[in-house]
């Protein structure tokens, strides 16, 4: 099945199926997967973390090959939670082999609940981020900071415009809204 290793993760009460190169919630990048472990990169600190496991204790399905899943022309990964008063990274990128050469992401948000770092602010509650395929790694310079004073939910609007190398529009499917919850810091 194309020889691509699969790793099943339990993450924030969700079961995830990930491959090398995937980014989980804009926080961890899957660097490698083998029969005896996996290597993840914690993006905010650019630190490597190793998950070791005994292959005898791991169900075969965890290390089996899986069919190749086609990647879209762009990924936008917004975390589901933000600790009050702290910044959380947002991963944006154009994967290798994508038809898209450039993309503009417009974010709308409640400026009394969130602040945005690493984006061009058009006005309070509206920010713009531009990315291009020439960037070797996903952009993790965009960050949200929960500036509200209580745990709550807020929505972030996401609009994307992408073009190929000739400037022609490329269809991109990302959620038009994302709900993020503010939680008490640990």
Which of 33-47, 68-82, 138-152, 157-171 is predicted with the least confidence, judged by mean pLDDT? 68-82
Rounded to a whole number of angstroms, the CA Rg of the chain reads 18
Residue 160 near residue 74, CB atoms below 8 Å: yes
Helices (H), 32-93: 60-63
Among 41-45, 57-61, 126-130, 140-144, the range of highest mean pLDDT: 126-130
User: Which letter, b or e, does each residue of 75-87 get, where b requires 16 or more Cβ atoms within 10 Å of its Cβ?
Assistant: bbbbbbebebeeb
**Closest-CA residue to 2 (of 65, 72, 63, 62):** 65
Which range of 23-37, 59-73, 77-91, 151-165 scores highest in mean pLDDT? It is: 151-165
Strands 177-183 and 81-83 turn out to be parallel
| Domain residue extents for the chain | 4-66, 75-183
- Say how far apart CA 173 and CA 16 lie, in whole Å: 20
Q: Could you list the beta-strand ranges (E) of 3-152.
A: 4-5, 7-11, 14-18, 23-24, 28-34, 37-42, 47-52, 65-66, 75-77, 81-83, 87-89, 91-93, 102-108, 114-117, 120-123, 126-132, 143-146
Q: Give domain 75-183's CATH architecture.
A: Sandwich (2.60)
SS3 (DSSP) at 35: coil
The residue whose two tokens read 């490698």 is 32
Whole-model pTM: value is 0.59
pLDDT band for 123, please (50, 70, 90 cuts).
very high
Kindly report the average pLDDT of the chain as a whole number.
77
- From its phi and psi, is residue 109 left (phi > 0), alpha (psi between -120 and 50) or beta? beta
For the stretch 59-90, pLDDT in tens is 433 333 333 333 567 777 778 888 888 888 88
């Amino acid at each position: 099945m194309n020889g691509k290793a699969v790793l099943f993760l339990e993450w924030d009460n969700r079961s995830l199926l990930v491959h090398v190169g995937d980014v989980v919630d804009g926080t961890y990048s899957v660097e490698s997967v083998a029969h005896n472990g996996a290597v993840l990169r914690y993006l905010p600190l650019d630190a490597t973390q190793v998950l070791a496991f005994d292959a005898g204790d791991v169900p075969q399905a965890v290390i089996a090959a899986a069919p190749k899943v086609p990647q879209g022309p762009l990924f936008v990964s917004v975390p589901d939670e933000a600790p009050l008063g702290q910044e959380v990274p947002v991963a944006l990128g154009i994967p290798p082999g994508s038809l898209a050469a450039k993309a503009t992401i417009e974010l709308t948000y409640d400026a009394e609940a969130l602040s945005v770092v690493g984006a061009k602010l058009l006005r309070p509650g509206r920010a713009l981020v531009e990315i291009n395929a020439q960037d070797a790694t996903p952009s993790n310079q965009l960050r949200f900071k929960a500036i509200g004073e209580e745990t709550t939910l807020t929505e972030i609007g996401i609009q994307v415009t992408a073009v190929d190398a000739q400037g022609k529009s490329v269809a991109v499917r990302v959620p038009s809204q994302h709900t993020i919850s503010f939680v008490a810091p640990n």
